[in-house]
Amino acid sequence: MEYYQIAIDGPSGSGKSTLAKGVANKLGILYLDTGAMYRACGLCALNNKIDTKDEEKIRKMMETIRIDITHEDGSQHVWLDGKDVSTDIRLPGVSVAASDVSAIPCVREAMVDLQRKISEGKNVVLDGRDIGSKVFPNAKYKFFLVAAAEERARRRLLEMKEKGATDITFEEVLRDIQYRDHQDTTRASSPLVKVEDAIEIDTTSISIEETLDTLLSYIKE
């Protein structure tokens, strides 16, 4: 039996994870949040007080790190060295650490291998930065989401406030997004790029529900 992949790439806050979850629910296939894996690597560095830009130290860290992904009741759990870190990887500071370590080739190689291994023998929708360009260049459908940085910061702030964050400002979230945009698009190893065969969707002024309908209409075709 032939299995297929759906790739959803784009910058942070463009709506990837909500849309990927929606597609997975609608089609009854697995959803893999690949950003969560880089977040676990970033968290590991922070926990061990390792400079997230020190390639040599991160390489050493990657020799012993253990990341596992499980799915329970439709939600993904990320385990770092045997501990469920699904909540910790969303803490402020982890985003930037994840972006830093994700620029290091040995981190990318390990995570790409893990993503391909988890996807084996399944139909799967993955969201990330390099799914259509590197992880699954032959994915059946490739989407590239974009949205204005201010709108993405507004959405991220709302999400953080809903989860109880009180001491974070719009400017801080916007700065974090702009830092990551720059780093994720300019790194040498698998930078965030729209591949030629990806369908680009600008989500700045359309709702998630409308975007999901658009995505599903392409998938049905």
**Nearer Cβ to ligand DC (165/220):** 165
CB of 56 to ligand DC, least distance (A): 20
Smallest gap from Cβ 171 to ligand DC, in A, equals 19
Smallest separation (angstroms) from ligand DC to the CB of 93: 12
β partners of residue 68: 79
Nearer to ligand DC, 129 or 142 (CB): 129
Identity of the residue, 120 or 221, whose beta carbon is nearer to ligand DC in the bound complex: 120
Identify the helix (H) or strand (E) that includes residue 7: strand 5-9
Give the nearest distance from C-beta 64 to ligand DC in angstroms.
21
Instruction: Kindly list the strands in the beta sheet with 30-33, ordered across the sheet, starting from the edge strand earlier in the chain.
Output: 30-33, 124-128, 5-9, 141-146, 199-202
Binding site for ligand DC (CB under 6 A): 12, 34-35, 38-39, 95, 98-99, 102, 128-130, 180, 184
The amino acid sitting at 89 is I
Supply the DSSP string of 82-116, one letter for each residue: TEE-TTGGGSTTHHHHHHHHHTSHHHHHHHHHHHH
Q: Which is nearer to ligand DC, 1 or 112 (CB)?
A: 112
Rounded distance between C-alpha atoms, residue 27 and residue 124, angstroms: 10
